[in-house]
Amino acid sequence: MRREVVYLEDIVRAAGEILDFTRGRKPADLVADAQFRNAVLFSLTVIGEAANSLSTEFQSTHPEVPWRELTALRNRIVHGYFALDDGLIWEIVTIQTPVLSEQVAEILRVEFPR
């Protein structure tokens, strides 16, 4: 079983990839560029899978992070990919993902210092 720190690192890495992917992009690119869309959705899926893999106990010690919502988004992407709201995905990747990245990076700094 992977340690909690590895899942947290996966979240920060995938969030960073999303931030890199979206730099200089606009919402219409999610529709116009399949490669861009797939890269963003894959990284969101990684975030959701990693969040879901964290223990319930660990998640409960960090209620500021929306663990359940991250997992729910992963499930929506995987099982309801045909009905995703591009505006909502854009909001998640440009507004919520930077916040998530900082939250999880702070948990890593405090609980798993290098």
Residue 75: CB atoms within 10 Å: 14
Q: Which pTM was predicted? A: 0.96
The per-residue DSSP string of 88-114 comes to HHHHIIIIIHHHHHHHHHHHHHHHS--
Looking at 3, 23, 79, 114, which residue is catalytic?
Answer: 79
Q: Tell me: the pLDDT tens digits for 61-74?
A: 999 999 999 999 99
DSSP-assigned letters across all residues of 62-81: -TTS-HHHHHHHHHHHHH-G
Q: Is pLDDT of 2 > 80?
A: no
pLDDT score at 83: 95
Distance of CA 89 to the CA centre of its chain: 11
Beta carbons within 10 angstroms of residue 6's beta carbon: 13
Residue 1 has pLDDT above 60, yes or no: no
Question: Is 23 annotated as catalytic?
Answer: no
* Cα radius of gyration rounded to whole Å, the chain: 14
Q: pLDDT tens-digit profile of 14-45?
A: 999 999 999 999 999 999 999 999 999 999 99
Known active-site residue 79:
yes
- pLDDT tens, residue by residue, 74-102: 999 999 999 999 999 999 999 999 999 99
User: How far is residue 34's CA from residue 54's CA, in Å, rounded to a whole number?
Assistant: 30
pLDDT at 114 (0 to 100): 82
| Residue of 13, 74, 76, 114 with catalytic role | 74
